[in-house]
């Protein structure tokens, strides 16, 4: 059988050139000189930590989270801050004077008195004070007006926040009160007039619905204010 494979050529010995040997020798000498300098203290050891230094491992570049500005509250401008040093919220302290009645009159419906609206029985919160139409209603205590609204059940309604976490409520007013939300009022200051705007109160006709709350709990005005 004829041999179809050609014979392999003999391997040649590869010897490094003289130039390559010289470069390698120079690098070896430089490495030995640097090691000797570090050992003798001429150069600092790059692996040595000095006082105040910390070994910080490489970290990935943090990705900044996208943020969205909150929507501006109606009546405010986005990004606008109140002037430094100004505080629009008055500091309320417990008044030193006793609370007084907002007007004179007979109590027609007492606190927690049960009354009927249609087929539903309700427990009355606060008191209903009999008064002639357009009788002037006065603030029972000094404070800040917190709420003014035309309530579907109690008609025109006004609430005043006082120190000690007290709140007084005046309802069934003739029309919109004299004061606005945020106004500071003094004890005895006129707030509005008695009317008949309430649709679902314990009594009908012209009267003042008056209630007192502390920390959200309804109190009996007769027990809070000195006996009439």
128 and 21 both lie in a single domain = no
In a domain, 121, yes or no: yes
Among the residue ranges 55-59, 91-95, 104-108, 151-155, the one predicted with the least confidence is 55-59
**Residue 40 structural domain:** 17-45
In percent, how much of the chain has pLDDT > 70?
Answer: 64
**Statement to judge: residues 116 and 205 lie in one domain:** yes
8 A C-beta contact, residue 177 and residue 148: yes
**Would 219 be classed as within a structural domain?**
yes
pLDDT at position 99 is 96
Task: Give this prediction's pTM.
Answer: 0.59
Same domain, residue pair 112 and 218:
yes
Segment 177-209, tens digit of pLDDT: 999 999 999 999 999 999 988 877 767 789 999
Residue 82 lies in a domain: no
Would you call 114 exposed, middle or buried from its count of C-beta atoms within 10 A (0-12, 13-18, 19+)?
Answer: exposed
Say which residue, 22 or 3, is predicted with more confidence. 22
Once rounded to an integer, what is the mean pLDDT over residues 61-78?
Answer: 36
Region of 165 on the Ramachandran plot (φ > 0 left; ψ -120 to 50 alpha; else beta): left
For residue 90, being part of any structural domain is answered with: no
Q: Inform me whether the pLDDT recorded for 137 exceeds 50.
A: yes
| Overall domain count for the chain | 2
Is residue 71 included in any domain, yes or no?
no
Is residue 146, in this structure, part of any structural domain at all? yes
Phi, psi dihedrals of residue 217, rounded to the nearest 5°: -100, 130
For residues 42-62, one letter each, b for 16 or more C-beta atoms within 10 angstroms of the residue's C-beta and e for the rest, the string is eeeeeeeeeeeeeeeeeeeee
193 inside domain: yes
Asked if residues 197 and 174 have their Cβ atoms less than 8 Å apart, the reply is: yes
Phi, psi of 2 (to 5 degrees): -80, 135
pLDDT of residue 92: 87
* 112 lies in the same domain as 41: no
Q: Are 164 and 143 in contact (CB under 8 A)?
A: no
Q: Is 217 helix (H, G, I), strand (E, B) or coil?
A: strand
Task: Identify the pLDDT of residue 120.
Answer: 81
Is residue 138 located within the same domain as residue 33?
A: no
Q: In which band, very low, low, confident or very high, does the pLDDT at 39 lie, cut at 50, 70 and 90?
A: low
In terms of domains, do 220 and 111 share one?
A: yes
- CATH code of residue 201: 2.70.70.10
Mark whether 36 and 132 lie in a shared domain.
no
Residue 132 has pLDDT above 80, yes or no: yes
pLDDT above 50 for 67: no
Residue 97 belongs to some domain of the structure: no
Whether 116 and 37 map to the same domain: the answer is no
What secondary structure letter does DSSP report for 167?
E
């Amino acid at each position: 059988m004829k041999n179809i494979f050609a014979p392999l050529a003999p391997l040649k010995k590869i010897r490094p050139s003289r130039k390559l040997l010289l470069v390698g020798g120079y690098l070896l000498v430089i490495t030995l000189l640097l090691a000797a300098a570090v050992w003798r203290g001429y150069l600092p050891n790059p692996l040595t930590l000095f006082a105040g230094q910390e070994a910080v491992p490489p970290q990935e570049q943090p990705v900044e989270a996208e943020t969205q500005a909150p929507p501006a509250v109606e009546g405010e401008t986005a990004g606008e801050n109140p002037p430094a040093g100004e505080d629009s919220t008055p500091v309320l302290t417990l008044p030193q004077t006793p609370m007084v009645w907002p007007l004179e009159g007979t109590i027609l419906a007492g606190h927690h008195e049960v009354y009927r609206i249609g087929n539903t029985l309700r427990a009355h919160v606060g008191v209903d004070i009999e008064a002639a139409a357009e009788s002037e209603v006065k603030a029972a205590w000094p404070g800040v007006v917190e709420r003014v609204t035309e309530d579907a059940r109690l008609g025109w309604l006004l609430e005043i926040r006082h120190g000690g976490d007290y709140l007084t409520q005046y309802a069934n007013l003739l029309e919109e009160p004299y004061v606005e939300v945020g106004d500071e009022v003094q004890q005895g200051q006129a707030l509005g007039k008695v009317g008949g705007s309430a649709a679902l109160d314990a009594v009908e006709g012209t009267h003042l619905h008056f209630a007192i709350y502390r920390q959200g709990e309804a109190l009996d005005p007769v027990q809070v204010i000195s006996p009439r």
